[in-house]
């Protein structure tokens, strides 16, 4: 699943590719992607003739700002946007096509068909789900120690599961939670109520540092992730524990192991993260 760095990379790429371009028509092959009460046909009619003005992001959501509306899109497991010439054939995984007046097409591909597109009047996108369910990002001013303590230390859940909860902190997924907890020296199965203030500060700092570094390197290409220009990220070359099972810990030399936490594959060093 694309996490914050991959979605931010997609945002930056899409802003270069589509801002200033106008929608002539839209083809929707898989209507369940469109989460609009009035239906996919109304979604299409409402957006015809509108121009992309900017591309934003909140957590793992992309926000396409047009003349008067905002498309709020989640890529889920395998979703990707790409800009193609209209002469290039699409494939069976192309489910939404924004046909632009200049002859290009913004295509949404999704092997698993889990992605979503909501539509709001601009200014109302933050007043309803899904964005009202998104917590602060690790580098937001609202992500204070007091806020973090309230969410973690009063919980009996394991710290990995807390950090994966997008209503608590936005943008972290399996890759970056494993990396964050390794840097902070915290075992992923620790209960939230056992985490000290000092450990919370370390987790905050590690999460922000990890995400910002990953953004700089264009995200991590682990399976199928590429940005909207088809380029892979490079942060996978910097990963210290995620997918590194069987290799020596970069800190102490003990073997990195992989366990299951809440059903998710989890990588750690049992010496550095006791």
Residue at 82 is within a domain: yes
Q: What is the CATH number of the domain that holds 61?
A: 3.20.190.10
198 with 220, same domain: the answer is yes
Catalytic option among 3, 6, 78, 137? 3
Q: What is the CATH number of the domain that holds 213?
A: 1.10.8.50
Residue 192, token pair as written in the block: 């939230």
Active site residue 3: yes
Active site residue 264: yes
Which residue, of 76, 111, 133, is where some domain finishes? 133
Active site residue 60: yes
Q: Can you tell me the distance from the alpha carbon of 23 to that of 3, in angstroms, rounded to the nearest whole number?
A: 28
Residue span of the structural domain in which 214 resides: 145-268
Q: Can you tell me the distance from the alpha carbon of 266 to that of 243, in angstroms, rounded to the nearest whole number?
A: 9
9 with 124, same domain: the answer is yes
201 with 129, same domain: the answer is no
Q: Write the pLDDT tens digit of every residue in 62-93.
A: 999 999 999 999 999 889 999 999 999 999 99
The total number of structural domains in the chain stands at 2
DSSP 53-101: -EEEEETTEEEEE-SSEEEEEE-TTT-EEEEEETTS---TTEEEEEEET
pLDDT band at 197; cut points 50, 70, 90: very high
Catalytic option among 12, 35, 217, 264? 264
Residue at 57 is within a domain: yes
Catalytic option among 2, 5, 138, 188? 2
In terms of DSSP bridges, do strands 116-121 and 34-35 run parallel, antiparallel, or are they unpaired?
A: parallel
Residue at 252 is within a domain: yes
What letters, b where the CB count within 10 A reaches 16 and e where it falls short, cover 161-186?
bbbbebebbbbbbbbbbbbbbbbbeb
Q: Can you tell me the distance from the alpha carbon of 111 to that of 113, in angstroms, rounded to the nearest whole number?
A: 6
Q: Write the pLDDT tens digit of every residue in 165-178.
A: 999 999 999 999 99
pLDDT band at 6; cut points 50, 70, 90: confident
Catalytic option among 11, 60, 183, 202? 60
Residue at 274 is within a domain: no
Active site residue 250: no
| Residue 176, H or E segment | helix 174-184
pLDDT band at 217; cut points 50, 70, 90: confident
Residue 220 has pLDDT above 70, yes or no: no
Q: Can you tell me the distance from the alpha carbon of 204 to that of 138, in angstroms, rounded to the nearest whole number?
A: 6
84 with 153, same domain: the answer is no
């Amino acid at each position: 699943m694309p996490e914050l760095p991959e979605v931010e990379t997609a945002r930056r790429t899409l802003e270069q590719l589509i801002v200033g371009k106008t929608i002539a028509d839209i083809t929707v092959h898989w209507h369940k992607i469109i989460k609009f009460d009035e239906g996919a046909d109304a979604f299409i009619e409402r957006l015809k003739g509108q121009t992309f003005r900017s591309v934003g992001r909140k957590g793992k959501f992309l926000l396409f700002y047009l003349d008067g509306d905002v498309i709020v899109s989640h890529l889920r497991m395998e979703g990707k946007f790409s800009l193609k010439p209209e002469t290039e054939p699409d494939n069976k995984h192309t489910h939404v096509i924004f046909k632009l007046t200049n002859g290009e097409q913004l295509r949404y591909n999704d092997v698993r068909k889990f992605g979503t597109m909501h539509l709001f009047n601009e200014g109302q996108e933050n007043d309803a789900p899904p964005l009202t369910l998104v917590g602060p990002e690790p580098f937001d001013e609202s992500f204070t120690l007091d806020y973090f303590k309230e969410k973690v230390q009063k919980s009996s859940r394991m710290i990995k599961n807390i950090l994966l909860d997008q209503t608590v902190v936005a943008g972290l997924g399996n890759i970056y939670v494993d990396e964050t907890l390794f840097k902070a020296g915290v075992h992923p199965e620790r209960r939230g109520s056992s985490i000290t203030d000092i450990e919370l500060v370390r987790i905050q700092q590690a999460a922000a540092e990890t995400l910002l570094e990953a953004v700089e390197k264009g995200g991590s290409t682990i399976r199928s992730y590429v940005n909207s220009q088809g380029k892979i990220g490079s942060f996978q070359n910097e990963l210290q524990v995620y997918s590194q099972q069987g290799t020596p810990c970069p800190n102490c030399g003990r073997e990195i192991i992989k366990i299951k936490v809440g059903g998710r594959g989890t990588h750690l060093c049992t010496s550095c993260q006791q």
